[in-house]
Amino acid sequence: MEASLIGIGGTGSPATVEHRIGGKFHQHSYHSHEIMIIPARVSYSAFWQQEHEFSMLGMNPSFLEKIARESVKATQIELIPQFITIDPLIQQILLALHGDMIAGHPTGHLFGESLAIALGYNETVPGATLRLQEGDRVRLTFTNHLDVPTNLHTHGLHISPEVDNPFVLVMPGESRLHEFTLPKGSAGTRWYHPHPHGEVATQQFAGLSGAIVIESPLDKIPELKAAEEHLLIFKDFTISKGRVDADHSLLDWFGKYGDLPLVNGAYQPQLVAQKATLRLRLLNASNARSYLLKLEDIPLNLIATDDGFIEKPILLKELLLTPGERAEVMVQLDRSGSFSLLNLADNSQNIGREMPEPLLTIVAPDNPQPTPLPKRLATVEEIDLSKVTQTRKFKFGGTAPFSYTIDGRTFNMDRIDARVKVNTLEIWEIENATHLIHPFHLHTYPFQILARQTAQSDLWQPEPFRAWRDNINLPAKEKVRIVIPFRDITGRTVFHCHISEHEDRGMMGVIEVTS
């Protein structure tokens, strides 16, 4: 149920290409220091006739060996967007580089057409999962094989805005090199997606997104190593007349919701667990849909947020993921049987409750014997607020669905909305003055939540635990205070609402960090 291509250790370690077939994990290692991934448009039939193809139904070893032979001294990745085809009738996902892709729903549920054209990176929807290590030096070549401009945002990475640059477009047929080193503190579940202003909503809804999993020595904690790990990517689609319908009506600019909420490209798939303790990496890659997750009769133990581990597991009955957010939970299956992962979120933009919607079924092993949870995970820095140099306030507003604003202004890439000195500490207070939710995302610089003010009270409620984030929910008529260390990196980047339609229609600002 998970398609993942590519993962490589640090310099000197073997390259690892990973995939899953029928729920089983397969791994091929080669001594190299390079990976390739790419976006493009091609027909499925043409792809299938080529030698260098990959699919969840089978991987051509000669293709993997070719990747290993052509490797260089840096971790090198090539990403290509492409048209793909989704087939709800087949058992697995067929991947096609330079071709259409056929993505199957393992449960065999039929929705929409038998085939639907989508967009994807390197043969998959979701795109290939990049598995990296803290300290890796990465050379990622992004090649645009679409017929429209696009670009690539590596969401959550603390790297130079000159590399992760939302202002640069990659034109059709052109390539762009992203070269960077993953600093200490990079570990966690990150992701990548397009970021061309005005076109993000259409391109992302059509399928362009993928996960980045970065590990560190903390992942060797015995209780974590003993657990069975799965990556779950939540992404909704609408299929119409043989295509993923990414066109936007006027009402869609409130935030476009798909008819089919998929997990790893599958509708209501089944995860057959081999172990009784699971580690689940969760990513909301949807344009606008939020997920209030609850596992039927089994508690969730939160172990990580957007930007890595928290200090110790926190027991939750349910977990909210707004667009762009990630989290990690551990689950202990203490009895045999099947358990539904439900979405309780009411996506009327108010994130209330609706009838539970099954997303995934987890099947526990016979006579399960759960292993213990870790007692401690990481030390999360307690930021010294006496060193704050400035407090800024921003107000999210606008006239939905026509425009969305920050401080009464729509996005202008030539205007600087916040100038900051590198290695200073700031508090930002962000107010949502609208009746819609606006998940807030800041590029490059992770932050911590200090407190929230709800619509029902003037009192500020302290955040119950420390955690590093780059994406936070901002409900209607609420405020949040965050503290941001602008460490090490200078450059010009953006902050915005992570509902793609709101971002495209103006709810984005420019920040410049200078020495």
Could you check whether the bond before residue 172 is cis, i.e. omega within 30 degrees of 0? no
- Residue 292 contacts residue 174 (beta carbons within 8 Å): no
> In the predicted model, what is the mean pLDDT of the chain?
81
Mention every residue, 6+ apart, whose C-beta is less than 8 A from residue 283: 189, 191, 211, 231, 232, 233, 234, 321, 325, 326
How far apart are the C-alpha atoms of 217 and 9, rounded to whole Å?
12
State both tokens at 57. 């139904």
Provide mean pLDDT across the span 149-168.
Answer: 96
- % of residues, the chain, pLDDT over 90: 65
Contact present, 124 and 80 (Cβ < 8 Å): no
pLDDT, position 347: 60
Neighbours of 349 (CB within 10 A): 20
Question: Does pLDDT of 36 surpass 50?
Answer: no
> What's the CA gap between 475 and 296, in Å, rounded?
26
CA torsion, points 431, 437, 438, 440, in degrees to nearest 10? 80
pLDDT-derived band of residue 20, with 50, 70 and 90 as boundaries? very low
Q: Please state the rounded mean pLDDT for residues 185-189.
A: 96
pLDDT given at position 512: 99
What digits encode the pLDDT tens for the residues 266-307? 888 999 999 999 999 999 999 999 999 999 989 999 999 999
CA distance 143 to 150: 10
| Residues whose CB is less than 8 angstroms from the CB of residue 222 and which lie 6 or more positions away in sequence, other chains included | 374
Q: Which tens digit of pLDDT belongs to each residue from 324-340?
A: 999 999 999 999 999 99
CA 185 to chain centre: 18
pLDDT recorded at residue 265: 86
3-state SS assignment for residue 3 = coil
Average pLDDT value for residue range 250-279: 93
Element (H, E) at 420: strand 418-421
Residue percentage of the chain with pLDDT more than 70: 76
| pTM higher than the cut 0.85 | no
pLDDT at 105 over 60: no
Mean pLDDT value of segment 403-411: 98
68-81 confidence digits (pLDDT tens): 333 334 566 776 76
- The dihedral region occupied by 242, where left means phi > 0, alpha psi between -120 and 50, and beta the remainder, is left
Question: Mean pLDDT throughout 229-242?
Answer: 91
Task: List own/partner pairs for 176-179 with CB under 8 A and 24 or more apart.
Answer: 176/141, 176/142, 176/151, 176/152, 177/139, 177/140, 177/141, 177/142, 178/138, 178/139, 178/140, 178/141, 178/142, 178/152, 178/154, 179/74, 179/137, 179/138, 179/139, 179/140
pLDDT of residue 497: 99
* 346 band by pLDDT with thresholds 50, 70 and 90: low
**pLDDT higher than threshold 60 for residue 226:** yes
Categorize the per-residue pLDDT at 93 as very low, low, confident or very high, splitting at 50, 70 and 90.
very low
Q: Write down the pLDDT at residue 120.
A: 85
Cα–Cα distance measured from residue 86 to residue 451, given in angstroms and rounded to the nearest whole number: 43
515: number of Cβ within 10 Å: 6
403: pLDDT strictly greater than 50: yes
All domains of the chain in start order, with CATH:
7-217 (2.60.40.420), 224-237+247-364 (2.60.40.420), 385-514 (2.60.40.420)
**Model confidence at 169: pLDDT above 80:** yes
φ/ψ of residue 220, rounded to 5: -90, 5
Among 264, 244, 262, residue whose Cα is nearest residue 113: 244
Whether 9 shows a pLDDT value over 60: the answer reads: no
The CA-to-CA distance between both ends of the chain, in Å, stands at: 47
Cα torsion at 381, 384, 387, 392 (round to 10°)?
Answer: 80
When comparing pLDDT for 408 and 67, which is higher?
Answer: 408
